[in-house]
């Protein structure tokens, strides 16, 4: 398989610029390794399957945190709230105590469930797949919880963003989501 840098002259910076137009939510993946909490900020999170319930995310092969989470075999996906930009930045740092000043509680598998996150998914490591300069991690969801209803933290074109106000259902442009068809 050709890599982006080998594919028709497509450079990494051009590729990243195009992908920056895709808005994503932000998560923090956490675990307990050697008795200590570990975690990292992750945008490459997605649901994968409803039956069985599977999720996926893609840590960089250069990640110093992923090997510790892999070793534990279980983790928690914390879906960040719109007001957790600071927490997002803290878990994106390298070489610092990412849990300094952070309140968390153990999920069913012991992995840190971060206070203030809007939802969490407690997972067991199912499989890893080569994804070029990243690893595609597949996790089996053991438990899923919504901590509080609220807007998610979003990232678009290298900046945090917010959801637009919900449209008025009386508007002529409003369409209920259940009329959409998914491919």
Distance CA 166, CA 96 (A): 39
Domain 23-157 architecture: Roll (2.30)
Average pLDDT over residues 53-64: 96
Q: What percent of the chain has pLDDT over 90?
A: 68
pLDDT value of residue 172: 64
* Contact present, 91 and 39 (Cβ < 8 Å): yes
pLDDT, averaged across the chain:
89
pTM: 0.85
- Identify the three-state secondary structure at position 158: coil
Tokens of 106: 């153990």
Of 151, 155, 28, 165, nearest to 81 (Cα)?
151
Distance CA 149, CA 166 (A): 15
CA distances 5 to 1, 8, 113, 114, 127, Å, are 12, 8, 38, 37, 27
Distance CA 149, CA 168 (A): 20
pLDDT value of residue 178: 60
Q: What is the pLDDT of residues 139-183, one digit of tens each?
A: 999 999 999 989 999 988 888 888 888 777 776 666 666 655 555
- Is 50 exceeded by the pLDDT of residue 1? no
């Amino acid at each position: 398989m050709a890599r982006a840098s080998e594919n028709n002259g497509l450079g990494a910076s051009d590729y990243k610029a195009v992908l920056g137009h895709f808005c994503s939510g932000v998560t923090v993946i956490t675990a307990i390794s050697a008795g200590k909490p570990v975690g990292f900020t992750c945008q490459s999170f997605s649901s994968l399957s409803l039956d069985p319930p599977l999720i996926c995310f893609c840590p960089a092969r250069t990640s110093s945190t992923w090997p510790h989470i892999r070793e534990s075999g279980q983790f928690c996906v914390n879906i960040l709230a719109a007001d957790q930009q600071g927490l997002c930045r803290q878990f994106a740092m390298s070489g610092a105590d990412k849990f300094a000043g952070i309140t968390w509680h153990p999920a069913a598998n012991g992995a840190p469930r971060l206070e203030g996150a809007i939802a969490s998914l407690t997972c067991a490591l199912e499989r890893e797949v080569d994804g070029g300069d990243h690893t595609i991690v597949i996790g089996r969801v053991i438990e899923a919880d919504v901590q509080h209803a609220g807007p998610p933290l979003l990232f678009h074109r290298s900046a945090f963003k917010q959801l637009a106000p919900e449209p008025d259902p009386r508007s002529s442009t409003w369409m209920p989501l259940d009329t959409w068809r998914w491919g």
